[in-house]
Amino acid sequence: MPRPQLGIGEYGTIGYSRDGTKHVAMARYRDTDGETRRVKAVGTSKSAAAAALREKFKERARRGGEDDITSESTIAELADRYLAEKLAEDLAPNTIHNNRRSMENHIKPKLGKLRLREASPQRISKFISGVTVSNGPGTALMVRSVLSGMFAAAARWDAVPSNPVAYTKPPKLEQKPIRALSLDELVRMRELASEVFAPFTLEQRLERAGGDVRRLGGQNRSRTTLDIIDFLIGTGCRPAEAPGLAWEDVHLDDELPWVKIHKQIVMVPGEGLLRTPTKERDVRDLRLPGFVVEMLRKRRAEHPDAVMVFPAERGGGYRSPRNIATAFQKAFAGTEFSWMTPKTLRKTVATLIDGEAGSAQAAQQLGHKSDTMTRRHYIEPSRLPIDSGSVLELFQDSA
């Protein structure tokens, strides 16, 4: 008769041998991966060796094997295993960076030595509250999200019965009012931007040089920032998607010119500027308005060998989205548009499209899966009074 298979966590008959003056206890043990292995322990007597062997069995049961995450694993060990799993996935570099930063700066220092079975909702809540106080609700939300992902994985690996982070309250972010440009404001902003960013004409350069043609040798200011503004107005793209646009994704010679939006430029600490998939990994084919088509045709004619549509001024590499934001800040400081950022143009496009075609189309233009986020964060509520007066006047007519 074949020997019956041991159950998970069970061990067979203990055998004994001698190793010099030491006693060795040995038995077959079936680990949580289903493999049956020989395990041995040493003691000063047979009973001591057997006791040591049984302790080894208990430890293997608690830890589930050499590499498994169990309830006895520490949160630091869980963090390392979870990050290794994420590194194996096709995630954006910034996502990996944010996960690692949350773990190294917050989770490991404060919770790393806790066993998973010790991670109660109360302890997690206290930790998240501390991060909120010291680093703000935005950081606390990110840390809570990473921690929730870690414990969701632990639950999937049977190391915890449920995710304790799910029972904690997320920090509240202050909901700032959505502010977009009206059509009149958009026109005025574009006129101001032209004064600030458009290259000087020959007449203007002569005037700035005091009429001395010998002083015209300096480099004229670039038009790229103004062109990026026009591109953002004409597409509603994320500010990081404009510098991520390559000429191979621009189709100006089609009957209806269009661009494919699927890449963005991000700054990853330690790696520099990278061209990665868009934030939501969406791919959008957007028809272009006439003024954007004209601008892009001029750029293509002026830079026939360029790879990127809006490259950096020096070296032709990737343009940093942060530099675009800095240009906005400097250009509009002290004006009526000092509050504006590149993202404001995305909100403006969403609001204008919503007014003409509805929020669903605005969401499609921006690359959102539904219009819930578009309405919550991008479409400015109407500035006009709610026009229900004609309906409510029916009360007076019937009185």
CATH architecture under which domain 75-167 falls:
Orthogonal Bundle (1.10)
Q: What is the pLDDT along the chain (399 residues), one digit of tens a residue?
A: 566 788 877 888 999 998 888 899 999 988 877 788 888 889 999 999 999 998 888 777 765 554 578 888 899 999 999 999 888 887 888 888 899 999 999 999 999 999 999 999 999 999 999 999 999 999 999 999 999 999 999 999 888 999 999 999 999 888 889 999 999 999 999 999 988 887 766 666 566 566 565 555 555 467 899 999 999 999 999 999 999 999 999 999 999 999 999 999 998 888 899 999 988 788 999 999 999 999 999 999 999 999 999 999 887 799 999 999 999 898 899 999 999 999 999 999 999 999 999 999 999 999 998 999 999 999 998 776 666 556 666 655 555
CA angle 268-172-115, nearest 5°? Answer: 70
Chain position carrying tokens 């966590």: 9
- Per-domain residue ranges of the chain: 15-63, 75-167, 183-377
Q: Note whether 278 and 264 are within 8 A (CB).
A: yes
CA 305 – CA 317 distance, rounded (Å): 13
**Are both 75-167 and 183-377 of the same fold?**
no
User: Would you mind telling me the total number of residues written for the chain in this entry?
Assistant: 399
State the fold for domain 183-377.
Answer: hpI Integrase; Chain A (1.10.443)
CA angle 241-245-246, nearest 5°? Answer: 160
Structure pTM? 0.71
CB count, 10 Å around CB of 47? 11
CA 70 – CA 337 distance, rounded (Å): 55
Closest CA to 213 of 202, 201, 198: 202
Chain position carrying tokens 């010790």: 118
Distance of CA 110 to the CA centre of its chain: 24
Beta bridge partners of 274: 266
